Amino acid sequence: MSSIDLSDPQRPTPEAARRNLRLGLICTGVFVGMIGLAYASVPLYRAFCQVTGFGGTVSQAESAPTTILNQTLNIRFDTNVRNLPWSFESQDVAQTLKIGETGLAFFEVTNNSSVPMTGRAVYNVVPAAAGAYFRKLECFCFNDQTIGPGETIKFPMVYFVDPEYAEDFETKNKAEITLSYTYFPSNEDGAVGPLADASGKTASSPLGGS
């Protein structure tokens, strides 16, 4: 009966050792990269949505289109507040404008509390496919707005619907777009969260200035 000598175990060859080291470094790199992506995923996703209009997110535009179509859309405005003692409403319930035409809408926000508070408005559009074509030239959204106790601020929003809206099979037959805004409390670090007290911050001025 044969026996196995365990007194002198085989050592890995130099080539196998280098392979194991390389594999370990790759695994470590992947692990660190996954942690980094987890922290960066929220701002990256937000930037991606604002650029592409993914998920109904409205994107920023540098200038209005030069083409205005003879096709009108009904733009409805929806306003909401979450965890803030604020009143928030649009001046117009809806506006009718031609595709490619520049529209101007005003929104009023009132701080009903006895202390200054900071909030941030986020928004999207319905149908979600319209997010790629609903473009803003000026907007108070995604910026912290500090409002004093009992103060009312009026903010403008300048926008248009890109003429390509009329060519996309998902949107060309949609005659109505709903733009929905929601105000949330804003933390000191700029992230939307439950913190609302913003004493010591500079209050916003009318028409969205700071």
166: closest CA among 178, 177, 179?
177
> What does the alpha-carbon distance between residue 80 and residue 68 come to, in Å, rounded to a whole number?
31
Segment 125-149 shows an average pLDDT of: 89
| Segments in the chain forming alpha helices (H) | 14-52
pLDDT, residue 63, reads 61
Question: Who contacts 27 (Cβ-Cβ below 8 Å, separation ≥6)?
Answer: none
pLDDT score, position 29? 62
pLDDT at 88 over 80: yes
pLDDT of residue 17: 64
The residue written with tokens 């997110």 in the block is 57
**Tell me: the pLDDT tens digits for 11-62?**
666 666 666 666 666 666 655 555 554 444 334 434 444 444 444 445 555 6
Residue 119 predicted with pLDDT over 80: yes
The whole-number pLDDT of residue 168 equals 95
Lowest-pLDDT range of 21-25, 155-159, 206-210: 206-210
* Residue 194, pLDDT score: 39
- 186: pLDDT strictly greater than 80: yes
What percentage of residues in the chain have a pLDDT greater than 70?
59
Stronger pLDDT, 124 or 14, i.e. the higher one: 124
Does residue 78 carry a pLDDT above 80?
Answer: yes
Write a three-state SS string for 36-77: HHHHHHHHHHHHHHHHHCHHHCCEECCCCCCCCCCCEEEEEE
Give 25's Cβ-side CA count (13 Å radius): 6
pLDDT at 124 over 50: yes
Distance CA 90, CA 112 (A): 17
Confidence (pLDDT) at 198: 41
Calpha distance 180→81 (Å, rounded):
11
Q: Across residues 175-203, what is the average pLDDT?
A: 63
Running DSSP on this structure, what letter comes out for residue 24? H
Which one is predicted more confidently, 49 or 106? 106
**42: how many CB neighbours lie within 10 A of its CB?**
10
d(CA 100, CA 83): 36
Task: Please state, for a pLDDT cut of 90, what percent of the chain lies above it.
Answer: 49
